[in-house]
Structure 1
């Protein structure tokens, strides 16, 4: 029998409760790191499994929302699609926050009808709004205009961001929740694409996405890296190689380029995703 397993089995109920408390306290402290500062700060937190990824992410969101609402009366958060939607559908039900102060934006969006399975807003509507799992209303989501060209949709979304987000001089989101694709893309910023070097636009159109559907809009790196906090939440052994390429090999991939200039960057990964981080 492995020594660690033997020790675990010999723990009393009180000791096991204490260990569980310490693990929860650790996740809380990680999530409560300062959310602004004079220079970039990056942290990688490796937790046991997907459930603990959700717990740590939820604590980070709760701490950031609390600070933002106390400071500015509002919490401006940008969200992505993919597995993050299910993470939030589970995790947001367990946090303490004034949801009425939230304004939710999209880090990128596919230009498809809301009823289309590829619509990021459509998925959030189905899993968060329609289910009434949390107290978020549809008008709190700042959506992307559909039925127009990608260029018009991007320009219109940039105007919405300018309306709601404080400028300094770029719009500064309180928190951006980002995804990492199997090729290292984030938002709709793909390896080798010209938009990686976009500096003039806050929101850029893309009509040749290598991942369907081809027409989308996306935040650009100047806006992403102006955020107070950027966070990735990653789970699964299929992500381990890409996590290594980003954090160990320092390969020039879109997700590697997320480096807030005066904020925090948090990666929360489970043991499977972080298996090659030694």
Structure 2
């Protein structure tokens, strides 16, 4: 990577959750104070299990100005919101039920349409909320991402066309290598335009892939997580000791 990320290692998952939640809360407070709102994109997987309960508990629950938050998803599974596999549904149970973000500022993907239309509609939502100029890309204040054991992030998988998309902001993925196979995902132009990108990884199961993604001596450009490199933003990794064991 052109820009080496800042990696912070925590003793365990609980310490990671507390530090990550505090970091997000500070960033949100500064952004709302300076811009009037805080636009964040979440991912699925274990992210909500790590950060949701901590952000949704005191002291943060009652001190964060939730009214300025606008929440999106870096990717979403094409399943009903009631499904346990829905990223929105999981965030609702682990996070939104605990805090007071205005409902109209939680921008869930409408998965009642076919995947291509869902992706187009979500792209239109981004255009409406961000209103970028002609030829410009939405600029998130924060992207919270995970990394899969194959190096994927969001729903950008190694060798898949979505990884090389450079015009569209949101695209469908119809044959993902892990279930559920149908998803939509934000693309690298949007991810890499964020002001802050934070990867989160916990547990021994992430140790091998982190050693590949974070080792700059390895030439593995096919790993999607290695292609996350904000053009004018900050890239950080929050990991626990188990995940960093092979780094």
Per the alignment, do residues 245 and 41 of structure 1 end up closer, same or farther by CA in structure 2, a change over 3 Å counting? Answer: closer
Is the counterpart of residue 62 in structure 1 residue 25 in structure 2?
Answer: yes
Q: Secondary structure at the match of 1:68?
A: helix
Indicate the residue corresponding to 2:154 in structure 1. Answer: 187
> Which of residues 199, 222, 235 is equivalent to 1:265?
235
* Residues 14-163 of structure 1 mapped to structure 2, 5 A cutoff: 42-92=5-55, 93=57, 94-95=59-60, 96-130=63-97, 133-163=98-128
State the TM-score, normalizing by the size of structure 2.
0.91
Is the counterpart of residue 206 in structure 1 residue 173 in structure 2?
Answer: yes
State the TM-score, normalizing by the size of structure 1.
0.81
Is the counterpart of residue 239 in structure 1 residue 206 in structure 2?
Answer: yes
Indicate the residue corresponding to 1:251 in structure 2. Answer: 220
Whichever of the two has the greater Rg, that structure is 1
Alignment gaps of 5+ in structure 1:
1-38
Alignment gaps of 5+ in structure 2:
none
Give the distance between the partners of 2:155 and 2:112, measured in 1 at CA: 19
Deviation at residue 41 of structure 1 after TM alignment: 6.7
Give the distance between the partners of 1:260 and 1:97, measured in 2 at CA: 26
Give the distance between the partners of 1:235 and 1:259, measured in 2 at CA: 21
Q: Is the 8 A contact 2:53 2:95 kept in 1?
A: no
Structure whose residues are more often helix by fraction: 1
Q: Number of aligned pairs? A: 237
* Residues 218-233 of structure 1 mapped to structure 2, 5 A cutoff: 218-233=185-200
Deviation at residue 250 of structure 1 after TM alignment: 5.1
Give the distance between the partners of 1:251 and 1:53, measured in 2 at CA: 27
RMSD: 1.6
Indicate the residue corresponding to 2:245 in structure 1. Answer: 275
